Structure 1
Amino acid sequence: MKSPETTRRVREAMSTQLTPILSRYWDHKNAWRLSTYEENGGYSALRVALERTPEELVAEAKDSGLRGRGGAGFPTGMKWGFLPPPDGGPRYLVVNADESEPGTCKDIPLLMATPQFLIEGMIITSYAIGCHHAFVYLRGEVVHVYRRLMQAVQEAYAAGYLGKNILGSGFDLDITVHAGAGAYICGEETALLDSLEGRRGQPRLKPPFPAVAGLYARPTVVNNVESIASIPPIMGHGSQWFTQMGTDRSKGFGLFSLSGHVTNPGQYEAPLGITLRELLDMAGGIRAGHELKFWTPGGSSTPIFTAEHLDVPLDFESVSAAGSMLGTRALQIFDETVSVVKAVSRWIDFYAHESCGKCTPCREGTYWLKQILTRLEAGQGLPGDIEKLDDVASNILGRSFCALGDGATSPVMSGIQYFREEFELAMTTPVDVSFPPERSTLFAKESVSS
């Protein structure tokens, strides 16, 4: 085990530079083709993995400290280990590619540029957990990504990486790519499973958890795209290589998605623990002539941060200690031209629309949040509206059936916490007067002719 001093030195050395691993050859010609992947060492990790026992692979995943890259940050190897002992029946791997939260945009580029990372990771993971039929649940609107992923799966079959007796190992695996119908709620793992089974996508009561009774009531592992895509590098280089990056409790690297009012938005692959200040330096800073006002560390469902949080290490523990969540590392950057009230109102429009309606706190709560924020945006606030916003959000938090309701409260409560004066101003002054739309390129309403 590394000493605290060694860990500190490694972290200081790594956190100021990018670590292109999954994104290393995104700019190569035909990066998505199997031939390009193999030229860059693709499927060498699979060959190594097939020489080991499934138990050794699960242990390697645990030793790496890889935590889920889909938002919750649950240890990946531990999730694999939750599966009950084999009973002769099937067990499944389901990859959650239903990326749809505002600001989150890492899995789609990864699948578009290098889908074979995911496929190799799925084969290794399936071998480790005893799965012979794995699924990718992809957001249906991204037709171009769906076609590319389907082509990648076909290439893997043709090369002998999928199907019967993979590479002469005796291990069989089929992969099915399923296109969802565009419901944000299906990003919740049990709603995804219901949708995959052909039912309406709504979260299930837990327990039982998917590890015990998941897809078709069989033991199931549900992992994010980036989590599974990180498996080949880990198995190829070893868990110790992975633990040299990141922090003590947040190991490894990740894709940080910078969007909004930043000079060079895009994907920045770096060790966990890097700060927004460092990422902004690499991205050319805030757009010329402006300054940072607020930002999200993990997408719209995480409490917002301000310029005071520029030096918070972007790892699970540090972000949580500062009052937010690392989530999907979707860093939405907003400068001083943006109204916090308008930004929060847009996000709540989304959550109210995407609530599945199964539980009262989320269904009714997001509706009332939307009504109040619409009034404030128009400068028509009623006495007590700000307190009512906080009260409604407090009654959703921790009481909704799944995390969608909790996520909807995050921008409301943190917005009031850090920018209460803007909400008070909006009680009597329309937001578009305080923050003219022409000043900002974000959140300007489009005029719709009837």
Structure 2
Amino acid sequence: MTDELTPVLTANWADERAWKLTNYERRGGYQALRKALSTTPADVMELVKDSGLRGRGGAGFPTGMKWSFVPKDNPNPKYLVVNADESEPGTCKDMPLMMASPHTLVEGVIIASYAIGCRYAFIYCRGEVLHIIRRLQQAVREAYSAGYAGKNILGSGYDVEVVVHAGAGAYICGEETALLDSLEGRRGQPRLRPPFPAVAGLYASPTVVNNVETIASVPSIIDRGAAWFASMGTEKSKGMTIYSLSGHVKRPGQFEAPLGVTLRQLLELSGGMREGHELKFWTPGGSSTPILTAEHLDLPLDYEGMAAAGTMLGTKALQCFDETTSVVRTTLRWIEFYKHESCGKCTPCREGNWWLVQLLKKFEAGQAQQGDVEKLLDIADDIGGRSFCALADGAVACLTSAIKHFRDEFEQGMHIPAWELFPYERSALFAVREGAHA
């Protein structure tokens, strides 16, 4: 089963002081940059296209194709923006990557900037993770000192400025157009599209916005070739990726494996569910993706496999919940998060999520009434697809999928409080006495 793991992005995480430039170079770091600069930007872009790399931040759009949308004849400067605002509940892959090996990202940023003809690149990071920001800033300084960034990189005549920007801590800024508004110094709110960022993004100029893992995958593709990358994964979902496994599992953590691996295989690698318990439901890509159940353990964790099951791969945040967990309580906590993080720009999202929380609290307290399940679905229908961004769609997805798979639990919420059906201390991962039933 260990053959399922393909450590590439995570290969150096256990190295001593892996974040330092000298240790990164010892493993061949920045050799991919040298290769890229020895060829043309068009060749680099074509190589990424041929590899089949798809965005690792959620939607899975082909990366090389996204780069090619940047207009060549636009007189405005071109920008690359890395979305490091990882905040999807359950997601934990970009932060450990930047903490353990920030130069993997920095090298990818410089190569990607070269490919799209960009002279200014921004890494937009969550403001709360100060330790990550400092590590990125240190890596960028080291890259400048070594001649990998700045003016006339490695004598090639190519210049690029790399800026680490700290956000102010808003989930909505993970949405690319809200991120761009925030980067410009305005309130982070989604923009109406078109125009798309590739045409009019940062400062109304052509902009490519990519996820951390997407950009961090570029150096290995340049170094080892498109065929090597495409040899992993499935027919349409190529390469390796980082899966975040959390919840009621024995050994939670990050597992780097080819796209198409199953949750059953990842659970075997993590030691399975906690002792004496079994899987009840799980999220394939964070709380904004429709939940799945134990029936879906053997589905391939790739873009097509998840779409066929009526959900999304998303950020590959596999939150696993056992039979002690209340679906009603879990859904309420998720919707409370979306209510709090809604930017308020769109009425359906701003008002709809508030009403969902009020109703779900009744279900949790066992005080719901006949017809309230239908009312939940009706409000969800008024929210989904009626907002500028996907925050509202994510809230609807977790709710409607919970009702689809566990409607009986919601109907029980008309008579019995959730904390009586599923005592919350039984599902707690911490603060459980030794030897007590957890």
Normalised by the length of structure 1, the TM-score is: 0.94
Matches of 2:335 and 2:239, distance apart in 1: 33
Compare 16-25 and 255-264 and name the one that shifted more. 16-25
- After TM superposition, the structure 1 = structure 2 runs for residues 196-215 of structure 1, keeping only pairs within 5 Å, are 196-215=183-202
Matches of 1:156 and 1:78, distance apart in 2: 28
Residue type at the aligned position of 1:191: A
Give, in angstroms, the shift of residue 427 of structure 1.
1.5
- Are residue 247 (structure 1) and residue 234 (structure 2) matched? yes
- After TM superposition, the structure 1 = structure 2 runs for residues 29-428 of structure 1, keeping only pairs within 5 Å, are 29-428=16-415
SS at structure 2 position matched to 1:152: helix
Residues 1:415 and 1:15: Cα distance change in structure 2 (over 3 Å): farther
Number of residues of Structure 1 aligned to a counterpart in Structure 2 = 431
Task: Show CA shifts across 1:74-114 (max 9, x none).
Answer: 00000000000144431100000000110011000000000
Does the 8 Å CA contact 1:101/1:184 hold for their aligned counterparts?
yes
Residues 1:188 and 1:443: Cα distance change in structure 2 (over 3 Å): farther
Matches of 1:428 and 1:334, distance apart in 2: 24
Task: Show CA shifts across 1:332-380 (max 9, x none).
Answer: 0000000000000000000000011111111111111111111111111
Residue type at the aligned position of 2:241: G
Task: Show CA shifts across 1:218-272 (max 9, x none).
Answer: 0000000000000000011110000000000000010000000000000000000
Does the 8 Å CA contact 1:348/1:370 hold for their aligned counterparts?
yes
Q: Counterpart of 2:436?
A: none
RMSD of aligned Cα (Å)? 1.3
SS at structure 2 position matched to 1:200: coil
Residue type at the aligned position of 1:138: C
Task: Show CA shifts across 1:20-39 (max 9, x none).
Answer: 00000101110111111100
What percentage of aligned pairs have identical amino acids?
68
Does the 8 Å CA contact 1:162/1:172 hold for their aligned counterparts?
yes
Does the 8 Å CA contact 2:92/2:244 hold for their aligned counterparts?
yes
SS at structure 2 position matched to 1:212: helix
Task: Show CA shifts across 1:257-300 (max 9, x none).
Answer: 00000000000000000000000000000001100000000000
Matches of 2:430 and 2:121, distance apart in 1: 39
Matches of 1:264 and 1:398, distance apart in 2: 37
Matches of 2:244 and 2:413, distance apart in 1: 31
Q: Counterpart of 1:431?
A: 418
Residue type at the aligned position of 1:195: S
Matches of 2:159 and 2:337, distance apart in 1: 42
Residue type at the aligned position of 2:340: H
Does the 8 Å CA contact 1:15/1:274 hold for their aligned counterparts?
no
Query: Any gaps of 5 or more consecutive residues in structure 1?
Result: 1-13, 445-450
SS at structure 1 position matched to 2:127: coil
Matches of 2:128 and 2:15, distance apart in 1: 26
Does the 8 Å CA contact 1:346/1:443 hold for their aligned counterparts?
no
Matches of 2:254 and 2:386, distance apart in 1: 34
Does the 8 Å CA contact 1:286/1:335 hold for their aligned counterparts?
yes
Matches of 1:16 and 1:303, distance apart in 2: 29
Matches of 1:87 and 1:358, distance apart in 2: 31
SS at structure 1 position matched to 2:254: strand
